[in-house]
Each structure stands twice: as C-alpha cells, then as structure tokens.
C-alpha cells in the first residue's frame, strides 16, 4: 500500500533513509521471534491460496522460496529481475506518493522492512514486510502485471500534476490491493490487501455480503474505499492481459472528465454496473 501520510506518527525508522526513501535491509535486525512469526503468517496464508489465489500469484510465490523466515530481499531480487525486470527496494514504511510512483515507473517495488508484532497477527494499520513481500511481490513475476504496475507509475507521475491523486489511489486500491480475477479456475484473488489477510481472502470471493462488479476503469476510479474494514465493493478483471491493456492508453482526458464528477459510494450498485456472482453461488433472479 502507499499513502500520502506525513512522516509524523509513522512506525518506521526514517532516520537513515536515502533521498528516494530507500534503506539497507541489512541494517534492520530480525529476531528469532520475528522469523517464527513470519513462518506462522506464511503457513496460515498459504493454506488459503490453493483455492483462493490466482495461479499467477501461486506460481510467483513458489519462485520466491520464502517460507522459512523473513526473507533477504536481495536474494529474491535477483530472481525477480531475471523474470520481469523488476527490482525490490527496502523502505522504512509509507513513502510520499510521488516517490512511490517514481519507484514503480522505474520497475522498483518498495518493500517495508519491519514485521508486525504477534498481537497484530490478523490486522495492522500500516503495511509491513509480510504484506508488502508476501502479498505484492508474487504478482510481479507475471510480465503482464509487471507492465501494468510500471505503466501505472508512469501515468501517475504525469497525472499527479492534474490533481488526480484520489482517482489514482482508487485505481491502485481496487486492482493491486483488492483485485479479483475471472480465471479458468473460477473467481480468484490477485490483490495483495486480500491475499495478506486471513479473514478477507475467503470473504472476498465467497461471501454474499460485498458487491463484485465487472472491472470498469471509470467506475473503479470514482468509487470510494474502506481502510478500516473488509471492502464493500470489489472489481473483477477478465484477465491480466486486459488489466495491462488499460494502462496503454493516455488517461489524461479521462481523469480530467472524472474529476468533475462526484465519487461513488462503496457497496452501492449504480446504473450500468455488471455484478459478478461470488464463487459457488448464482445471482438472484
């Protein structure tokens, strides 16, 4: 995740960060308890993946070989770069939006160095290395997702000047963080916010409670989101090719038009929406 937070009150240690907010992961010490907690988090989430995560996520995770403890980012970095040209950079936590976009545009994914506490096993407010690494990095092994994220960063840098941060944040939120995909295995998850959460992973594809809508770029960018509970709306893409294609167009004119329109509430169905049923259920007549 990323966010336009001030440096005040953030959990990470920013004292030794470079101008681009990167740090050296080797300066951060992980205790035996940290590694044990990582293994517990990893084991719990991987149980859910076979039936809930898309194949591309599962394949990427397998390539990372990170079940045994908090990973050394440099070790995975080399494998990732060989496959998709992306690198991992260590950061203290949230970083400014513009810098975050700059990293993405340069095919660098920022990963927070610190790990949550045991009492935060199920929930924490700021993203930690488990969320950033386990949740996000597997998808960067897929070239289509990798291209989408880079193009998002490039466009976001340009569109920031047009005051489009809210629209950009919603798009990132509903794809990279909370995206669902139609696959040959049925409805599956590719979003990191879901896949790093024990509760939201089955909820997102099986619960009758939230709305699942066919992905539409304008609809998605106008829709507000929740940061304090499970999502009330999810957007379902037809394929990773289709997602990558969205970013090949210049979004300037669309963003200007959308900024003149009011946001849409999470969890509400609007005219023109195309609902997608949860897994194992039929839409009510």
List interacting residues with Fe ion (CB under 5 A).
1, 127, 192
User: Which residues lie across from 214 on neighbouring strands?
Assistant: 236
Q: Min. distance of Cβ 284 from Fe ion in angstroms? A: 33
Question: CA-to-CA distance for 177 and 218, rounded, in angstroms?
Answer: 17
Nearer to Fe ion, 93 or 127 (CB): 127
User: Which residues lie across from 189 on neighbouring strands?
Assistant: 53, 180
- Closest to 204 in 3D by CA, of 180, 229, 170, 228: 180
Question: CA-to-CA distance for 91 and 94, rounded, in angstroms?
Answer: 8
Contact 181, 277 (CB under 8 A): no
Q: Min. distance of Cβ 132 from Fe ion in angstroms? A: 6
Nearer to Fe ion, 203 or 278 (CB): 203
Nearer to Fe ion, 71 or 127 (CB): 127
Nearer to Fe ion, 1 or 240 (CB): 1
Question: CA-to-CA distance for 72 and 130, rounded, in angstroms?
Answer: 12
User: Which residues lie across from 112 on neighbouring strands?
Assistant: 91
| Residue corresponding to tokens 């039929």 | 282
Q: Min. distance of Cβ 196 from Fe ion in angstroms? A: 8
| % helix, strand, coil for the chain, step of 5 | 45, 10, 40
Nearer to Fe ion, 193 or 210 (CB): 193
Q: Min. distance of Cβ 192 from Fe ion in angstroms? A: 5
Residue nearest to Fe ion (CB): 1
Nearer to Fe ion, 168 or 192 (CB): 192
Q: Min. distance of Cβ 126 from Fe ion in angstroms? A: 10
Contact 148, 68 (CB under 8 A): no
Q: Min. distance of Cβ 109 from Fe ion in angstroms? A: 10
Nearer to Fe ion, 1 or 76 (CB): 1
Q: Min. distance of Cβ 261 from Fe ion in angstroms? A: 27
| Residue corresponding to tokens 């998002």 | 152
Q: How does strand 180-183 pair with strand 108-112? A: unpaired
Contact 58, 49 (CB under 8 A): yes
Residue 104 per-residue DSSP state? H
């Amino acid at each position: 995740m990323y966010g336009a937070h001030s440096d005040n009150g953030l959990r990470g240690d920013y004292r030794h960060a470079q101008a681009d907010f990167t740090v050296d992961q080797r300066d951060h010490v992980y205790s035996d308890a940290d590694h044990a907690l990582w293994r517990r988090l990893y084991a719990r989430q991987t149980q859910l993946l076979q039936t809930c995560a898309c194949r591309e996520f599962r394949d990427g995770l397998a390539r990372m070989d990170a079940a045994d403890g908090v990973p050394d980012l440099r070790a995975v970095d080399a494998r990732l770069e060989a496959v998709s040209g992306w690198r991992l950079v260590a950061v203290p936590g949230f970083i400014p939006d513009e810098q975050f976009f700059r990293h993405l545009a340069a095919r660098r994914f920022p990963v927070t160095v610190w790990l949550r506490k045991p009492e935060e096993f199920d929930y924490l407010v700021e993203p930690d290395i488990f969320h950033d690494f386990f949740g996000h990095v597997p998808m960067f092994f897929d070239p289509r997702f990798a291209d989408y994220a880079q193009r998002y960063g490039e466009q976001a840098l340009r569109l920031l000047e047009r005051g489009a941060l809210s629209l950009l944040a919603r798009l990132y939120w509903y794809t990279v963080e909370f995206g669902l995909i139609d696959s040959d295995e049925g409805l599956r998850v590719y979003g990191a916010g879901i896949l790093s959460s024990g509760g939201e992973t089955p909820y997102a594809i099986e619960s009758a409670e939230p709305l699942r809508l066919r992905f539409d770029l304008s609809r998605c960018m106008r829709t507000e989101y929740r940061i304090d509970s499970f999502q009330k709306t999810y957007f379902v893409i037809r394929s990773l090719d289709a997602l990558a294609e969205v970013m090949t167009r210049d979004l300037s004119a669309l963003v200007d038009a959308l900024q003149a329109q009011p946001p849409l509430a999470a969890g509400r169905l609007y005219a023109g929406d195309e609902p997608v049923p949860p897994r194992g259920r039929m839409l009510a007549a």
